[in-house]
Structure 1
């Protein structure tokens, strides 16, 4: 005799109660119930989870690997002699006494360690801190810097430290290098301290590249809040050889003379071209006070 179906207190038969299997309430496995073959889907899910764990285990060393800098860099410290000290050393060649601060920077973590223990606000007047690619020194007289120059910005000390940190990151991250002409090169950045300001400078290889010179300006101005951006009179570009104290390295006098001759010829040609365009080309606009 067939077994009778279950009924409730009213005598109603619930055939659906035994026709549909009970559903398991699980977290994260709701997608398994979209198929009529639970065993297949469970195996697939377990396999997928195992693969994810496997991938995570393989990629873990890569994720924890120190992030290297594009180039090795060194941090140097030196003190600029006063004018009185320079007069006392008249006739003697001055060489900056560079002191390397800490080990060479090879990974980003090295940079943050140095940056943390070197507060800019404690650097005294006429002292300088520099961050240069390994193999280069922040000296005008370096043989490779005969045609080089630097873009310099005078900033209030209130924002100098913040802008300096940002500029260093742009230097070690190759952002500064990316805005230059392909044949040009960033050698480093420096921060000399003055009485009321920081003189932040970017040193590049070729001072005859106008587009590189302008690109360095725009790159740094992006890091300066609008209300603190320096006036045009507070930033400039200058060749190292244009400084009064510059001395051509031994053996390179002929190269320096040749470069000076080319620059003189280019300047005369430019002036001659302006004269050839007529007096209007040389017209000087009156100032507001005239």
Structure 2
């Protein structure tokens, strides 16, 4: 009688990733089911609002990451409006301040694993209109209305002295089709006038840019 040696097969890394993805999908499905049973309206993604503030002209020894504060998280339409209605309006916030809205599990940092290969579309705005554009963009993100929505990580409003800067972060700067489709989708949903220019910048370029706000954090 012939015998065959049996060898245990170790799961491959791709199988592990798939299993982790399946577990996350199942957990997300369970969350949405619970919220529906509770009479709520679940969003496709769970989100987190973050806040960054630095006193102008004051040197700080804390890192940029340490200065990012988590405000609140939400996963339903009702939860969003409860959070949003209690947030200060951009026009009332001092300069420089950053407001971040990112999907749960993604930190608003270039180095985060979801962001490190991506980039951002940048729109420079007059302060008188930035609050309206910010609100329209937040609603589009939360409502999953932007094209290639799964490729979007989050949005940021950077409040500065002479202007405000709106940016939309995506996962993959090398996917030209997704990057350009996102640009067109942003323009369409915000109804941006032709006079507003949009600039795309990969995060690895930002990390190399010594004049960026992040790299001047400790300069005061």
Specify if TM > 0.5.
yes
CA distance in 2 between counterparts of 1:200 and 1:152 reads: 6
For the aligned residue pairs, the C-alpha RMSD in angstroms reads 2.9
Provide closer, same or farther for how the CA distance between residues 245 and 114 of structure 1 changes in structure 2, counting only shifts above 3 A.
Answer: farther
Q: 1:29-44 counterparts in 2 under 5 A?
A: none
- Is the aligned partner of 1:175 residue 2:183? no
- Is the aligned partner of 1:110 residue 2:62? no
Displacement over 4 Å in runs of 4+: 80-84, 244-247
Q: Provide, for residues 119-138 of structure 1, a one-character-per-residue CA deviation record: whole Å limited to 9, x for no partner.
A: 12112111111111110110
Structure 2 residue aligned with 1:37: none
Q: Which has the higher strand share?
A: 2
- Is the aligned partner of 1:121 residue 2:91? yes
- Is the aligned partner of 1:192 residue 2:192? no
Q: Which of 28, 39, 54 is 1:65 aligned to?
A: 39
Question: CA shift at 1:244, angstroms?
Answer: 4.4
State the TM-score, normalizing by the size of structure 1.
0.53
Q: Which of 107, 110, 121 is 1:137 aligned to?
A: 107
Structure 1 residue aligned with 2:50: 76
State the TM-score, normalizing by the size of structure 2.
0.68
CA distance in 2 between counterparts of 1:172 and 1:69 reads: 7
Question: CA shift at 1:75, angstroms?
Answer: 0.4
Is the Cα contact below 8 Å between 1:221 and 1:229 reproduced in 2? no
Structure 1 residue aligned with 2:202: 239
Question: CA shift at 1:192, angstroms?
Answer: 0.8
Provide closer, same or farther for how the CA distance between residues 116 and 246 of structure 1 changes in structure 2, counting only shifts above 3 A.
Answer: same
CA distance in 1 between counterparts of 2:199 and 2:57 reads: 22
CA distance in 2 between counterparts of 1:156 and 1:172 reads: 24
The SS at the match of 2:67 is coil
User: Any unmatched runs of 5+ in structure 1?
Assistant: 1-61, 248-290
Is the Cα contact below 8 Å between 2:114 and 2:153 reproduced in 1? no
CA distance in 1 between counterparts of 2:122 and 2:57 reads: 21
CA distance in 2 between counterparts of 1:93 and 1:130 reads: 17
Provide closer, same or farther for how the CA distance between residues 229 and 194 of structure 1 changes in structure 2, counting only shifts above 3 A.
Answer: farther
Q: Which has the higher helix share?
A: 1
The SS at the match of 1:74 is strand
Question: CA shift at 1:80, angstroms?
Answer: 5.1
Question: CA shift at 1:93, angstroms?
Answer: 5.8
Count of residue correspondences: 174
Larger relative contact order (CA 8 Å, sep ≥ 6): 2
Question: CA shift at 1:111, angstroms?
Answer: 1.4
Provide closer, same or farther for how the CA distance between residues 229 and 64 of structure 1 changes in structure 2, counting only shifts above 3 A.
Answer: farther
Provide closer, same or farther for how the CA distance between residues 239 and 96 of structure 1 changes in structure 2, counting only shifts above 3 A.
Answer: farther
Structure 2 residue aligned with 1:210: 176
Provide closer, same or farther for how the CA distance between residues 73 and 212 of structure 1 changes in structure 2, counting only shifts above 3 A.
Answer: same
Q: Which structure's CA Rg is the greater one?
A: 1
